[in-house]
Amino acid sequence: MDEFQKKAKKHQKVESIADMKHFVETYPLFKKLSGTVSKHVTVVGELSSVVEKHNLLEVSELEQELSCQADHSSQLQKIKTLINNQKVRDIDTVRLVMLYALHYEKHANNDINGLIELLKKRSVSDKYIKVIVIIIIL
Q: For residue 9, what pLDDT is reported?
A: 55
Single pTM value for the model: 0.74
* Domain boundaries along the sequence of the chain: 1-52, 55-137
Burial letters for 13-28: b for 16+ Cβ neighbours within 10 Å, e otherwise?
eeeeeeeeeeeeeeee
What residue ranges of the chain have pLDDT lower than 50? 4, 11
- For residue 108, what is the DSSP state? T
